[in-house]
Structure 1
Amino acid sequence: MSPRRILFIQTQGENAGAQEISRLVGAGLGARGYDVSHLFFYRKSPSFDAPPNTRYCSHDRPRGVLGALKFPMQLLREIRAIRPDAILTFQHYGNTVGGIAARLASSAPVIANQVSARMLMNPLVRTVDLALGMFGVFDLITVNSSDMLMDYARYPNNYSKRLRYIPHGFDLKTTDLTKQQARAAFGLPPDVPLLGSVARLNAGKRLDAAIGTLADSPDWHLVLAGQGPHEAALRQLVVEKHLETRVYFTGELPPERIGDFLAALDVFVFPSRAETFGLAAVEAASAGVPVVASDLPVLREVLASDGQPAALFVDAADRCQFTDAISRVLNDASLRADLIAAGRGLHARYSVARMVDEYEQLLRDLLAPVPQLAPQS
Structure 2
Amino acid sequence: MSKPQKPKTVAIVQTQAENAGAQEIARQLALGFAKHGWRTRQIFFFRRTESFDGEENVVFCAKARPSTPFGLLKMLGALFEEFRAEKPDVVVTLQHYGNLIGAPVARLAGSPLVIANQLSPPETVPAVVGALDKAMGMVGFYDHIIVNSAQTETAYRDYPKPYSRRLKRIDHGFFDKSASISKTDARRHFGLPQDVELLGCAARLHPLKQVDLAIRILSENREQHLALAGQGAARGDLEALAHSLGVAERVHFLGELNTAQMGAFLAALDCFVFPSSTETFGLAPVEAAQAGAPVVANNIDVLREVLAVDGAPCALFVDAADTKAFARAVRRVLDEPELEATLTGRGKRLAERYPLDAMLDEYLRLMERPTP
Structure 1 length-normalised TM: 0.95
1:261 is the counterpart of 2:262? no
Query: Residue 185 of structure 2: which of 181, 187, 212 is its match?
Result: 181
2:219 matched to which residue of 1? 215
2:8 matched to which residue of 1? 4
Contact kept in structure 2, 1:49 and 1:254, CA below 8 Å: no
Query: Residue 307 of structure 1: which of 307, 311, 320 is its match?
Result: 311
Amino acid corresponding to residue 213 of structure 2 in structure 1 = A
1:20 is the counterpart of 2:24? yes
Contact kept in structure 2, 1:183 and 1:189, CA below 8 Å: yes
**Structure 1 residue 156: Cα displacement:** 0.7
**Structure 1 residue 51: Cα displacement:** 4.8
Contact kept in structure 2, 1:288 and 1:344, CA below 8 Å: yes
Residues in 2 aligned to 1:215 and 1:157: alpha-carbon distance in whole angstroms? 50
Residues in 2 aligned to 1:364 and 1:151: alpha-carbon distance in whole angstroms? 28
Q: Say how many residue pairs are matched.
A: 368
Query: Residue 85 of structure 1: which of 71, 80, 89 is its match?
Result: 89
1:296 is the counterpart of 2:300? yes
Equivalent residue of 2:321, what SS?
coil
Contact kept in structure 1, 2:146 and 2:168, CA below 8 Å: yes
Deviates more, 1:15-24 or 1:250-259: 15-24
1:111 is the counterpart of 2:121? no
Structure 1 outlier segments of 4+, above 6 Å: none
Residues in 1 aligned to 2:207 and 2:194: alpha-carbon distance in whole angstroms? 30
1:101 matched to which residue of 2? 105
Residues in 2 aligned to 1:52 and 1:261: alpha-carbon distance in whole angstroms? 26
Residues in 2 aligned to 1:110 and 1:236: alpha-carbon distance in whole angstroms? 44
**Structure 1 residue 49: Cα displacement:** 6.3
Alpha-carbon spacing, 1:50–1:24, altered in 2? closer, same or farther (3 Å): farther
Query: Where do residues 219-368 of structure 1 align in structure 2 (5 Å cutoff)?
Result: 219-367=223-371
Residues in 1 aligned to 2:157 and 2:54: alpha-carbon distance in whole angstroms? 33
Deviates more, 1:303-312 or 1:46-55: 46-55
**Structure 1 residue 362: Cα displacement:** 0.7
Residues in 1 aligned to 2:232 and 2:109: alpha-carbon distance in whole angstroms? 31
Contact kept in structure 1, 2:292 and 2:348, CA below 8 Å: yes
Structure 1: which 5+ runs fail to align?
369-377
**Structure 1 residue 244: Cα displacement:** 1.7
Contact kept in structure 2, 1:13 and 1:50, CA below 8 Å: no
Deviates more, 1:291-300 or 1:40-49: 40-49
**Structure 1 residue 367: Cα displacement:** 4.6
Residues in 1 aligned to 2:70 and 2:359: alpha-carbon distance in whole angstroms? 40
Query: Where do residues 43-62 of structure 1 align in structure 2 (5 Å cutoff)?
Result: 43-48=47-52, 51-62=55-66
Contact kept in structure 1, 2:187 and 2:194, CA below 8 Å: yes
Amino acid corresponding to residue 220 of structure 1 in structure 2 = Q
Amino acid corresponding to residue 73 of structure 2 in structure 1 = L
**Structure 1 residue 107: Cα displacement:** 3.4
Amino acid corresponding to residue 133 of structure 1 in structure 2 = G
Give the superposed CA RMSD.
Answer: 1.3
Equivalent residue of 2:363, what SS?
helix
Residues in 2 aligned to 1:70 and 1:59: alpha-carbon distance in whole angstroms? 11
2:149 matched to which residue of 1? 145
Alpha-carbon spacing, 1:89–1:177, altered in 2? closer, same or farther (3 Å): same
Residues in 2 aligned to 1:25 and 1:70: alpha-carbon distance in whole angstroms? 27
Equivalent residue of 1:229, what SS?
coil
Contact kept in structure 1, 2:275 and 2:320, CA below 8 Å: yes
Amino acid corresponding to residue 261 of structure 1 in structure 2 = F
1:122 is the counterpart of 2:126? yes
Contact kept in structure 2, 1:119 and 1:274, CA below 8 Å: no
Residues in 2 aligned to 1:156 and 1:71: alpha-carbon distance in whole angstroms? 32
Equivalent residue of 2:360, what SS?
helix
Residues in 2 aligned to 1:314 and 1:191: alpha-carbon distance in whole angstroms? 27
2:79 matched to which residue of 1? 75
1:40 matched to which residue of 2? 44
**Structure 1 residue 217: Cα displacement:** 1.4
Equivalent residue of 2:218, what SS?
helix
Residues in 1 aligned to 2:360 and 2:319: alpha-carbon distance in whole angstroms? 34
Residues in 2 aligned to 1:10 and 1:256: alpha-carbon distance in whole angstroms? 22
Equivalent residue of 1:216, what SS?
coil
Amino acid corresponding to residue 175 of structure 1 in structure 2 = A
**Structure 1 residue 348: Cα displacement:** 1.2
2:204 matched to which residue of 1? 200
Residues in 2 aligned to 1:190 and 1:306: alpha-carbon distance in whole angstroms? 36
**CA offsets per residue over residues 302-358 of structure 1, 9 Å max, x none?**
101122211001111111221111111111111101100110100111111111111
Alpha-carbon spacing, 1:311–1:355, altered in 2? closer, same or farther (3 Å): same
Amino acid corresponding to residue 104 of structure 1 in structure 2 = L
Residues in 2 aligned to 1:366 and 1:341: alpha-carbon distance in whole angstroms? 43
Residues in 1 aligned to 2:244 and 2:288: alpha-carbon distance in whole angstroms? 29
Contact kept in structure 2, 1:49 and 1:255, CA below 8 Å: no
Structure 2 length-normalised TM: 0.96
